[in-house]
Amino acid sequence: MSPASGVKAVEVTGVTKTFPTKAGLVTALDDVALSVAPGEFVSLIGPSGCGKSTLLRLIADLDTPTAGSITVFGKSARQARLDQDYGIAFQTAGLLPWRSVTANIELPLQLHGAERAQRRDRVAELIELVGLSEFAGSYPEQLSGGMQQRVAIARALAERPELLLMDEPFGALDEMTRERMQSELVRICGETGAAVIFVTHSIPEAVFLSDRVVVMSPRPGRIREVVEVRLGDARGEALREEAAFFTSVTDVREALHGTPGAPAARGVESR
């Protein structure tokens, strides 16, 4: 699965999503456009109700847009899901409690009919990658929240997807675990070279991880601004204390709160 060069990993054009509720029609997303290049790390950030999770679910074809189109590696979102072009991780790890760590990571391989020996080798690699070798035979209830989330990430990577969709995967973790997981994710992405769309509430998290941060506003959900973060590929723990990091954090914060005087021209998504 190697997409032709020049094809975007994700191309969202004019997407609108409305939900019928008791109070009438709610517009979760209004005319949203976004494109993500192969290997690029893009975060979606915004207050609750801005539609960032909805946008992710549309790209994953877990819901269908009311209007507009979404392509993933040049195919429809539905075809991309059927072809398993992406891996996904949710806010709750969503592990199956009756399966061991190994069996949970193995799940997608098993569902898609990979051979036993092949499965075993791949799972061993993945467990190594997320640093859980000692816990291969453990069950989810025996793991901490951070470890469960690492299993979920390993599971998302199982089929070597070129695109990772992550919906606040670290949202329920404590701050210390969270920073460690972010560093892990940066390393893993470096090793796999996958494009990532990452939904989050946290400004430092978005800045630390991303090439670009997409700032969204609620009611109706729209993209307000796209902040380019140019912090380079070598992101160590030291980065969190560098001035460039804080500058970007400030940029995103101002974009979020709509502070006047922010350099508005910067990296606004062209349609």
Which residue in this structure is represented by tokens 């799940």?
107
Instruction: Report if residue 264 touches other proteins, rule: CB under 8 A.
Output: no
The residues facing 132 across adjacent strands are none
Instruction: Report if residue 86 touches other proteins, rule: CB under 8 A.
Output: yes
Q: Is the preceding omega at residue 204 within 30 degrees of 0, hence cis?
A: no
CA distance 102 to 125: 11
Count residues binding other proteins (CB under 8 A): 21
Instruction: Report if residue 1 touches other proteins, rule: CB under 8 A.
Output: no
Structure letter (DSSP) for residue 142: G
CA distance 91 to 104: 16
Pick from 6, 20, 24, 97: which binds other proteins (CB under 8 A)?
Answer: 97
Considering beta carbons, is residue 106 or 254 the nearer one to other proteins? 106
Pick from 1, 67, 96, 244: which binds other proteins (CB under 8 A)?
Answer: 96
Pick from 25, 48, 98, 230: which binds other proteins (CB under 8 A)?
Answer: 98
Considering beta carbons, is residue 6 or 97 the nearer one to other proteins? 97
Q: Which of residues 51-80 bind other proteins (CB under 8 A)?
A: 57, 60-62
Q: Which of residues 131-190 bind other proteins (CB under 8 A)?
A: 139
Instruction: Report if residue 82 touches other proteins, rule: CB under 8 A.
Output: yes
CA-to-CA dists, residue 98 to 91, 137, 138, 140, angstroms: 20, 12, 10, 8
Considering the complex, what minimum distance in angstroms separates the CB of residue 63 from other proteins?
Answer: 10
* Planar angle of CA 209, 236, 202, nearest 5 degrees: 30
Q: Which three-class secondary structure state does DSSP give residue 64? A: coil
Binding mask 7-46 for other proteins (x = CB under 8 A): ----------------------------------------
Rg of the chain, C-alpha, whole Å:
19
Pick from 13, 18, 92, 250: which binds other proteins (CB under 8 A)?
Answer: 92
4, exposed or middle or buried, with CB in 10 Å at 0-12, 13-18, 19+?
exposed
Report CA dihedral (172, 103, 153, 34) to the nearest 10 degrees: -110
The residue ranges that bind other proteins (CB under 8 A) are 57, 60-62, 81-82, 84, 86, 88, 90, 92, 94, 96-98, 107-108, 110-112, 139
